Each structure stands twice: as C-alpha cells, then as structure tokens.
A and B are shown apart, each in its own frame.
Chain A
Amino acid sequence: MSGPAPSPSRGPSPAVRRWRRVLVVAGGALLAFGAWTAWSTVPQGQWTSALLWLAGGVVVHDAVLAPLAVVTGALVLPRVPPTWRAPLRGGLLAAGALALLSVAVLAGAAGRRHWSVLPHDPLPAIATAVLVIGVGVVVGAFLSAGREPGGARRRSARRRTTGPPR
C-alpha cells in the first residue's frame, strides 16, 4: 500500500463512500441487535446497575484519567529532556495499565472465594512490575539518546518550558 492519499478537497472516492455506507448500516444493525438482546434478556431490575456501569466508565475516564493525562502532558513532559519524553510517556501508559489491573488483582485477593484464586501474594508481583516499568523507561531513554544525532548535547539541553498539553 503506497502512493498519495486522495486529497480531502476531492472528498472520498466512490469506493470509500460505498464501504462507508456498508459499514455504517452493518454497524447500526449489530447495535440494534445488541440493544434488542439487552432489552429481551436482561431483567428490568438489573438495568439501573448495568447503565450505571456503562456510564461510569466514561465518567471515570473523562473526570479522572483524561485530566490526569492532559495535566501530565502539560506540566511534566515539557520539563524533561526530549529524549526522556517518549520513554516516560510509554512508562506512564504501562503504569496506568498496571494500576487498573492491580485494582482488579487486589480486589480479587481481598474477597477470594477459594484459596486457589490469586494463590500468590500479589504485592511483590505488582512491586516488581513497577520496577520493570522504571527500568524500561531508563533503558528507553538511553536507546532514544543513542539514536539522536548529537544526542549527548540534546540530552543535556533541558527545555524548561511550560506549554499546552502534549
């Protein structure tokens, strides 16, 4: 797959327009089937809880995760050397994923129904994963510096600027 993409001024090609229609109509049909399945198989008494959880994910994301990521991008990343930004961003992504999984791990360990559920102490595992992420960030920064032309000079050049989110 190569070659220039169609110019936006010309609009999508007829083939793309056709595929768009097919995908949107097929997607709409699946959505409707999902809604009908929920309507017909989930008891009414469970709808409130299910809808709360459905909306709750978006609310937690919009109210907690997104602002956290935006503020980190605006305040932290501009203050670190350029070679550290990509590894740090990757490390924060890994830490976020680990944090979410750790909530499930710790909740599962706290209320285990049988001793074969989460049979090993999860805390050392989580601590080790945090350590691995930290090491990954440092290794990534060194690899990143090594690939940069004039990396040593740029490594020492701290751009202490505040700016919009990154």
Chain B
Amino acid sequence: MTVPRTADFRSPVHDPRVVARVGALLGGAVLVLFTTGLVSHLHQDPVSWWAFGPAPSWAYRLTQGVHVTVGFACVPLLLAKLYAAYPRLFERPALRGWRHAVERASVAVLVAATTFQVVTGVLNAFQVYPWRFSFVAVHYAAAWVVAGSVLVHVGVKLPTIAGALRSSVDDLRREERGEPPRVAASAAPWPAGDGASIPAGDDGASTRRGFLAAVAATTLGVVALTVGQTVRPLAPLAVLAPRDPGVGPQGLPVNKTAHAAGVEQAATDPGWRLELVGPGGTRRLARQDLLALGLATAVVPIACVEGWSATATWDGVRVRDLARLVGGTGADDVRVESLQAGGSYRESLLPAAYVAADDTLLALRLAGEDLDLDHGYPARVVAPNRPGVLQTKWVTRMTVEPARAA
C-alpha cells in the first residue's frame, strides 16, 4: 500500500463544503472557549478596565461551565475537522513556494496549538498532569496562539470557505432532490484537484449529510455525558464527567484537600485564631468569637475552574463586618491568606465590590454543619460570581487594604 495523494480521497466527506461546515462549528467553539477563558483569566488576574462584581452570582458558573463543556465537545469536532481535511495532509508537492510554505506552517501551528489546548485542557479537568509546566500560564498563552492561527487560517482560506458555505445550502438540496448541481456553484469553491475526483452518484449528498449528522450527534452526546457536572438535573447522565456535583463531603466535591495543602494539623489546632489586620489595628479572633458575632446565611455556588459547580448553603460572618472591626470603611479591598504555606492560590484579593456584598462570607458552616476539613475548616471565604480557586480555604489572616483603582 503506497502513501495516498490528495486526489485519492474520493469520499464526499472530504468535500470542501463539509470541511467548511465542520470548520465553522469548530471555529465557533474556539470563539466561545477564547471568550469564556478570557473571563476566567480576568477573574484571576484582574485589570482596571474590566472589573467583575458579585452579581449575578451565577455568571462565572455559567461561563466556566460552558468553557469546559465546549472544550469536551471539541474532542469530536477536532477529530472530524482533521479527518475531513485529510486530503490536504497528503498534498504533492509538499511545498509549492514560500506562500504555500507559510500557509502550511500556519496550519501546522493551528493544529499543534488546538490539539494541545484540547488535550491538556481535558486532562486538567480530570486532574491529570503528566507534564512539567504551569497549566494556567501555558493554557493562557496558547489560547492567543490558537485564536491568532484560526484568524490566519480563515484569512488564507477565505475564498474557499465563502464559496463552500455559500454554495452548499442550495446545491446540497438540489443534489438531495436528485438534480444535478449547478456548475458554477459546485465547481467554484475549491481549487483544482481538491474535489475533482469525487465520483458522480456516489451517494454524495447522503454521505455528507450522514457525516455532518454523526458529527452533530457525537458532539451533542459528549455534551450530554459531561454537562451534568455543572447542570445538576443532568448529573445522572454525566458519566464521563470528572465530577458529580452532589458527591463529596457535605454533598459538595473537593479540589484541594487539607492533606495536599499540608494544613491538617494547623487547621485543627484549638489555638487557631483569625488575624484581622486593618487601619484600626489588629485583632485575633477564635472560632467561638466568630460564631458569637452572629452568622449570616448565603446560598452561593462554588464554581470550579475545572468546570464543575454546585450551589451550597453557607453560614458565616460577612466579610464587610469583619473589615469594620479593624477600621474598614466599607469601600476597601480585603486580602485573604490561607494556612497553606505555598502554592499559587494560598492567598486571594477580594475587591471592594465583593467585600460590600451581603453574600460574601467568611464561612464557618456548610449545609448546617461545621465545615468539613477538606472544605476549609475552620473558616473559608465564599463569594458569589468568583472562581473556586479564589474562595480561599483554611483562612488564617485577612488584611483590609485601600481599594485598588478599578
């Protein structure tokens, strides 16, 4: 068996109209992933020109749930796009001058970066890290590379894409009715040799339609089997999802455990005190002191960067009330530090808008019980519309700071 050439691929699934349609789906998915990913990045690395607030409480849950679900959906979409465009992989001659070389190099970057993002993103959702780089930093940088290479690819292929998408609707209907395709519409979109050998009468329309239907069914199937990790009513279906939103201590999944954070002893030490630091001085409060301040109840979702989310009922002291104990004005930021000695998320900053919210708590209880150790006992932060990694657990110190210019 010899290495095939472009013209050897005679199935109608390699028709540029199919490639363009699957490409449009994948391109739409990339746009959604890029936008929702940027939202998550800006939550964790805020900028003055786009500040988030505590309302609506479900916004991050929605954007990150969509991000991870669409990421899962990209597995079949990417496979389908690569498969449909296989004839291009076997072009001869491999390079026809510098323009063609640049075009093929841009496709190589596109394929490499997109495959990288989807594969490492899916593994990250399952907490599998068989690499030696910071997932967050590389995922963010690679997202720009994917977005850029998609735009370059669409730009280079624009005449083919426009022709394929424009001709397809009318042309496919004609073929399905058994009428011959219009010459101008069927011949125009792809360069010579790119579909010239599609055999007439080889059940072309039904093959194309069948392939697109299979892509749609597989993509929807992947969504159906994973989206339940954030959409609670679909949880029983989410058999391929990393999490069940109702399974965990106190009915809530856990990401970082107290053991992994190395805080088991410090967090259960009866001598634990919360240190409050502010312009009015420093105070140290035991858990009993916090309970005596009176607890507020907030129903707030925990929305993890890995895509799962679950609503829970928390009891705790409002952060703004704690800030006032040490001279806070109600318009300050609050820095929250964990007992955790290291790690990217050992501290977080609650911007003033979050501090002022009724539902932003230093939570002491979850679902009517004392916090489980893995949920952050003796105290953790919960705030609406915020990534789970910023809901700092095992809190040891809160510092009232002047609000950043936001």
Contact = CB atoms under 8 A, between A and B. Distances in A.
Interface string A1-13: 1111111100010
A148 B126 CA distance: 44
A42 B138 contact: yes
Interface stretch (B57-65, B79-87, B340-348): B79-87
A42 to B, nearest CB: 5
Given A89-B214, A101-B240, A113-B257, A107 B128 contact: yes
B108 interface: yes
A124 B157 CA distance: 43
A134 interface: no
Contact of B4 (A30, A70, A91, A112): A70
Contacts of B218: 90, 93-94, 97
A22 interface: yes
Nearest to A132: B221
Contacts of A164: 4, 8-10
- Dominant secondary structure of chain B at its interface with chain A: helix
B184 interface: yes
B35 interface: no
Nearest to A26: B151
Nearest to B13: A89
A129 B303 CA distance: 27
A121 to B, nearest CB: 10
Given A26-B151, A113-B127, A120 B239 contact: yes
A101 B75 contact: yes
A158 interface: no
Between A5, A23, A28, A49, the greatest number of chain B beta carbons within 10 A of the residue's beta carbon is seen for A5
B224 to A, nearest CB: 10
Contacts of B109: 31
A117 B123 CA distance: 13
Contacts of A5: 162-163, 166-167, 184-185, 188-189
B86 A69 contact: yes
Interface residues of B, number: 98
Given A5-B162, A8-B188, A114-B374, A42 B240 contact: no
Contacts of B292: none
B11 interface: yes
A32 interface: yes
A115 to B, nearest CB: 8
Contact of A90 (B131, B192, B214): B214
B225 A129 contact: yes
Given A105-B126, A107-B126, A117-B126, A66 B155 contact: no
A42 B123 CA distance: 19
A55 B13 CA distance: 27
Interface residues of A, number: 95
Interface stretch (B247-255, B318-326, B389-397): B247-255
B242 A108 contact: yes
Contacts of A125: 225, 239-240
Contact of B188 (A6, A35, A46, A140): A6
Contacts of B191: 8
B169 interface: yes
B145 interface: yes
B170 interface: yes
B158 A19 contact: yes
Nearest to A58: B112
Interface string A134-166: 001000100010011000000000000001111
A165 B254 contact: no
Contacts of A85: 207
A111 interface: yes
B142 to A, nearest CB: 7
Contacts of B255: 114
Nearest to B114: A57
Interface string B220-250: 0110010000000000000110111001110
B1 interface: yes
12 contacts: A4-B184, A20-B156, A29-B148, A31-B109, A66-B89, A90-B214, A91-B214, A108-B127, A114-B248, A118-B243, A129-B225, A165-B9
7 closest pairs, A vs B, by CB? A90-B214, A86-B210, A27-B151, A34-B144, A23-B155, A108-B126, A30-B148
Interface of A: 1-8, 12, 16, 19-24, 26-35, 37-38, 41-43, 45-50, 52-55, 57-58, 61-62, 65-66, 69-71, 73-74, 77, 82, 85-87, 89-91, 93-94, 96-97, 100-102, 104-105, 107-108, 111-114, 116-120, 122, 125-126, 128-129, 132, 136, 140, 144, 147-148, 163-166
